[in-house]
Amino acid sequence: MGEDSKAVLADEACDVLVIGGGPGGSTAATLLARRGLKVVQMEKARHPRFHIGESLLPMNLPVFERLGVLDKVRALGVFKAGADFEADNERGYNTFAFARALGNSPPHAFQVWRQDFDKMLFEHARENGVDAREGTEVVAVEQHAPRDTRISVRSDDGRRYTVQARYVLDASGRDAFLAGKRKLKQKNPQHQSAAIFGHFRNAQYRAGEDAGNISIYNFDYGWMWMIPLPNGVMSVGAVCRPEYLKQRRGRTTEFLFETLKQNPALWTRLEQAQLIDDEVRVTGNYSYDATMIGGPGWMLVGDAFAFLDPVFSSGVYLAMSGAEQIAAVVDAALKEPAREIALQQRLEKRLRAGMRRFSFFIYRFNSPVMQQMFRSPRNTWQVEQGVISMLAGDLFDSRPVWWRLHLFRVIYAFCSLRDRRRWWAERRYRLAQAKVAFTGGTTPVDGA
């Protein structure tokens, strides 16, 4: 392409262009703008827009503090002291209280309406100097040099223009815009699941201080959640093996109710509840990653890089924590380009290590061995507290937590040997389901 045509295309310029207006994109944009860079952020929809992934982790809170939004999150959210899982005791469940975690993770988190949470972070980015644009879709990216990328944009009022950026961050969530264009996105060969969910009023809450906790239930084809949200709303859904969800054949609402009834304890809490607006959503095929996190002049943020499964609510935390570190890498790369690749590789190694610690539990969560360990936890050598720390998101820097999680894996292996027939059957089923062709829907889930 000649210089004349380049000049025509470059309608405006910036230091960093961020694709996507979710938590990861807004975090990176805010922090880069604070470093004095000219940042443009583009969200193809307009806030507030629906998004699932409403349960946050305690390790989100230090990120909120550094962003300066903790009070805003507190005003939006429902206090979450822990998570509970089914158990064979008088109450029918065990509470894993975040206050019992090892290390220094905060003793609580929040549940939020994601449309309100995402809008708040997007507006906060704007308040910090980001040129944050809604109704603006990136339709093409063409890189001419490591510090010269042309981004073609289409706004919902029909305008088309091109922005020249020194750096591009893709925080487009499950759209995985750059990973798709660069053919980096790969399906997870070990795990695949799909979700069906809705929002209810008048569901039964836990008693006392457990009222705001997320509740996790199991059934033969996956697991279910109940998440208390503001204004008396309960998010309820099931994450299923794709083969099971393919049976619905258009009967979406009826299928959700049929599914939820398969767990009597959960259904008891919903018997008097009403589905809001008769709206049920389905999404699928959301376990994937990209083969690399970035290259000269570009990086992937949050779900645009990888997504595991929402069972432990890891998406928003991994997106925002990763975005915070990516912002530091981008700033350093623009100042010292020779360091860029090494910094990217070091960060990718760190993020993948954290995801592996989550994924061990995620892949095996429906196994009979793992279910029994959560139903009857023991705190020998503080292993239970190590698991609570994992649930809190404390995965990266705490060696005491790492050792307890390693010990949990040893215990899991020993228990699997004792029940190897059922362990092997579940493993074969999980790997077979990872190969099932299923797209489900387009509703975004978690992270971004």
CA–CA dist 443, 433 (Å, integer): 21
At 157 the pLDDT is: 93
At 9 the pLDDT is: 53
The model's pLDDT over 380-418, given as tens digits with 9 standing for 90+, comes to: 999 999 999 999 999 898 999 999 999 999 999 999 999
Q: Which residues touch 198 (CB under 8 Å, ≥6 apart)? A: 236, 237, 253, 256, 275, 276, 279, 280, 281
Q: Are 336 and 343 in contact (CB under 8 A)?
A: no
At 447 the pLDDT is: 45
Q: Residue 78 is inside which H or E element, if any?
A: strand 78-80
Q: Which residues touch 300 (CB under 8 Å, ≥6 apart)? A: 169, 170, 176, 178, 179, 184, 290, 293, 294
Write out residues in the chain with pLDDT < 50, as ranges. 1-8, 442-447
At 439 the pLDDT is: 59
Which domains does the chain carry? 3-45+114-187+289-351 (3.50.50.60)
At 190 the pLDDT is: 82
At 441 the pLDDT is: 53
